[in-house]
Amino acid sequence: MAEVLAYHWVFLLLAAPCVGSFLGLVAKRLPEGRAIAWARSRCPHCDAVLAWRDLIPILSWAVQRGACRTCGHRLSWRYPAVEIAALGIAVWSLAVTPGILAWASAVLGWNLLVLAMIDLRHLILPDEITLPLIPAGLAVTWSLNPDLLPHHAAGAVGGFLFVVLLRWAYGRIRGREGIGLGDAKLLAAAGAWVSWQGLSGIVLIAAALALAGHVIWNALIQPRDLTREIPFGPYLAAGFWLTWLYGPIAIGPP
């Protein structure tokens, strides 16, 4: 058993691109309310059933240069992109978190990736993904150090209340909804993973990235579209991920 555990990283790296394929499926089907089953995949153009050799993550796409084997229709670059991203998350997790804890990091990273993908396209953060992250964070905390559990539970409550208060204040001032309850549940999950000490840093990172993203969007992509709703989830997810891996940002004198 010890020998197998020593090579856990090999399994993580092998699993990652397959998880990526699954995340692509979840990101596409969950917002549409469709069942996420392991149904046989078909070409969206000619409906040909894809064989196992067409479904090897990353490699199949590269070998066939992103086209269907039957009809030659070009398949979306999103498929290999999410598989590569999932692999990247596994490598990053192994590089930063020690030992078997890398699996917890990778699972967290994969969940944040799929949340960011869904929020970017649909402006929602599904409860099916945000809510389970709360007990998962508390369980990881408990396995590492049960004494820290109250701090992380306080983080979950504090993260939720922070966004709810922000939402209330924004509604009073601007008369419209500024931040969603999905963001509140995501920040609650973040509090469960990184404890209340990490929350201010996450909000700081998310706000800075959102501002940068907004400036870049307006400058390069779609000028004058100031009414566009900005998904905040991807930025919160980035702050959550960095704080989990590298610890809370220290504010004030060292």
Give the binding site for Zn ion (CB under 5 A).
43, 45-46, 48, 68, 70-71, 73
How far apart are CB 235 and Zn ion at their closest, in Å? 37
Sign of the Cα pseudo-torsion (136, 137, 142, 147, in order): negative
Measured from the CB atom, is 70 or 200 closer to Zn ion? 70
How far apart are CB 63 and Zn ion at their closest, in Å? 15
Angle at 109 (CA atoms; ends 91, 30), nearest 5 degrees: 130
Task: Check if the beta carbon of residue 78 is closer than 8 Å to that of residue 66.
Answer: no
How far apart are CB 36 and Zn ion at their closest, in Å? 22
Distance CA 15, CA 83 (A): 10
Measured from the CB atom, is 70 or 97 closer to Zn ion? 70
**Amino acid of residue 29:** R
Q: What is the DSSP string of 38-81?
A: -PPPB-TTT-PBPPGGG-STTHHHHHTTTB-TTT-PBPPTHHHH
How far apart are CB 60 and Zn ion at their closest, in Å? 13
Measured from the CB atom, is 48 or 148 closer to Zn ion? 48
Tokens of 222: 């779609």
Measured from the CB atom, is 71 or 211 closer to Zn ion? 71
